[in-house]
Amino acid sequence: MNAGEMLALRLLHALEPEQAHELAIRALQWGLFPMPRHVADERLRVDCCGLSFPNPLGMAAGFDKNARAVPALFNIGFGFVEVGTVTPLAQPGNPRPRLFRLREDEAVINRLGFNNAGQAAVRERLLRYARLPGRGVLGVNIGANKDSRDRIADYAQGARCFAGVADYLTVNISSPNTPGLRDLQGAEALHRLLAGVRGALEEKGRARLPVFVKIAPDMDEAVLADIVEAAVEGGAAGLIVSNTTIARPDTLKSPLKEETGGLSGLPLFVPSTRMLARAFLLAKGRLRLIGVGGVRDAETAWAKIRAGADLVQLLTAFVYRGPSLVAEILSGLLDRMERAGFNRLNEVVGTRAEEWAARKLPVE
Ligand SMILES: Cc1cc2nc3c(=O)[nH]c(=O)nc-3n(C[C@H](O)[C@H](O)[C@H](O)COP(=O)(O)O)c2cc1C
């Protein structure tokens, strides 16, 4: 991290977390953030689901919910950016405060509750980015409005709205902050949801658009196995493992640990990576996996790939470590590939899945 970036982060962290987030998005939007060096190397390219990712590192959903900073995030060096979660209608989310920095734990708790500008506004912005020169892959994460009478219809509407502007879609059925949303992870509900989304994409002539299902880390092996089968049968391209957790590991030190919401960052690394490995073993090559949860350096990104991830995302570490983290992770991945004698990242995927799947969790 250079001195300018350190100062910028220090200033942001002196502010209330949500104000800091808003300011960071504006700084990115207006090009005011110090831009780090770029790591471009063909050995990092990942071909997945018919898409070509310049590198395997993406910004996770929730950082740029309304697609305001997409060009800047690509400039920083992310191989892909996932915007959203976007719901059909704009909604304010939960009352503030609803975002907490657990500094001692390098973690965040959020109960934002899908605050977003709504599909029409986000689509409008994305249309402007369609022809960004040299841009990476753009994902749109879709969800349901809190007061929706028919949540599955909300996802189908999202698919229809973004079919023409997204490179892939994510159906987010795992936010802990919209009551009842995680019920959609049940096999029968997931079947119906994927059928609705696929139907909407067919209507728009985009039947082949990859659809990922983003799942929670808080479930047992049997439920995970059902989700894997439902995702395969429903024609999903893959899973994103995982969203934030409602668990509170014993190891947390921050006085804010009792806040309600989803926990992300370092304490999520082991549980989400173990679950990723289990999903990899259950999927037996039928699904592609995006690993997310606690990635904070090259070592943790490498571990996700070895546990079974084709691609990796992060969010919380960006808040603590800033934009130069992207280049640091990518060059660290190249070093590790060289040392281990791999020429392409796909040779690395899942090479430690058994070990990770058997891993014990820290006590809760
Ligand atoms: C402030 C915040 C907002 C988030 N909003 C969303 C969201 O809208 N949709 C979603 O699918 N995930 C959301 N997430 C979850 C992240 O995409 C990611 O799955 C999770 O934070 C774990 O990754 P991390 O440990 O690198 O942060 C959010 C996370 C944070 C910290």
Given this model, what pLDDT does residue 228 score? 96
Q: Which two three-digit tokens encode residue 289? A: 């996996």
Within-domain flag for 363: no
pLDDT in tens, 274-286: 999 999 999 999 9
| pLDDT classification of 8: cutoffs 50, 70, 90 | confident
Given this model, what pLDDT does residue 4 score? 77
Given this model, what pLDDT does residue 81 score? 96
Q: Give residue 348's domain range.
A: 3-357
Q: Which atom of ligand 1 is nearest to the CA of 85?
A: 8
Within-domain flag for 94: yes
Given this model, what pLDDT does residue 363 score? 55
- Asked whether residue 250 carries a pLDDT value surpassing 60, the answer given is yes
pLDDT in tens, 188-210: 889 999 999 999 999 999 999 99
Within-domain flag for 64: yes
pLDDT in tens, 116-134: 999 999 999 999 887 777 7
Give how far Cα 305 sits from Cα of 116, 273, 337, 349, Å.
Answer: 31, 9, 11, 5
Q: Which atom of ligand 1 is nearest to the CA of 61?
A: 17
Residue nearest to atom 10 of ligand 1 (CA): 61
Structural domain count, the chain? 1
Q: Which residues contact 305 (CB under 8 A, 6 or more apart)?
A: 56, 291, 312, 333, 345, 348, 349
Within-domain flag for 262: yes
For ligand 1, mutation pick of 21, 244, 311, 321 (most atoms within 8 Å of CB):
244
- Mean pLDDT over residues 87-96, rounded? 96
Give how far Cα 281 sits from Cα of 148, 174, 232, 339, Å.
Answer: 35, 21, 14, 26
Amino acid at 280: F
Q: What is the CATH number of the domain that holds 54?
A: 3.20.20.70
Given this model, what pLDDT does residue 174 score? 83
Which range has the worst mean pLDDT, 18-22, 77-81, 143-147, 329-333?
Answer: 18-22
Given this model, what pLDDT does residue 290 score? 98
Within-domain flag for 362: no
Q: Which atom of ligand 1 is nearest to the CA of 268?
A: 25
Which residue has better confidence, 26 or 349?
349
Is 175 a residue of the active site? yes
pLDDT in tens, 10-22: 888 888 899 889 8
Ligand 1 pocket (Cβ < 6 Å) reads 60-62, 65, 84-85, 99, 108, 110, 112, 141, 172, 175, 214, 243-244, 264-265, 268, 292-295, 314-317
Within-domain flag for 217: yes
DSSP string of 304-364, one letter each residue: HHHHT-SEEEESHHHHHH-THHHHHHHHHHHHHHHHHT-SSGGGTTTTTHHHHHTPPPPP-
- Rounded to 5 degrees, what are φ and ψ at 349? -60, 120
DSSP category for residue 245? B
For ligand 1, mutation pick of 239, 241, 264 (most atoms within 8 Å of CB):
264
Within-domain flag for 109: yes
Within-domain flag for 84: yes
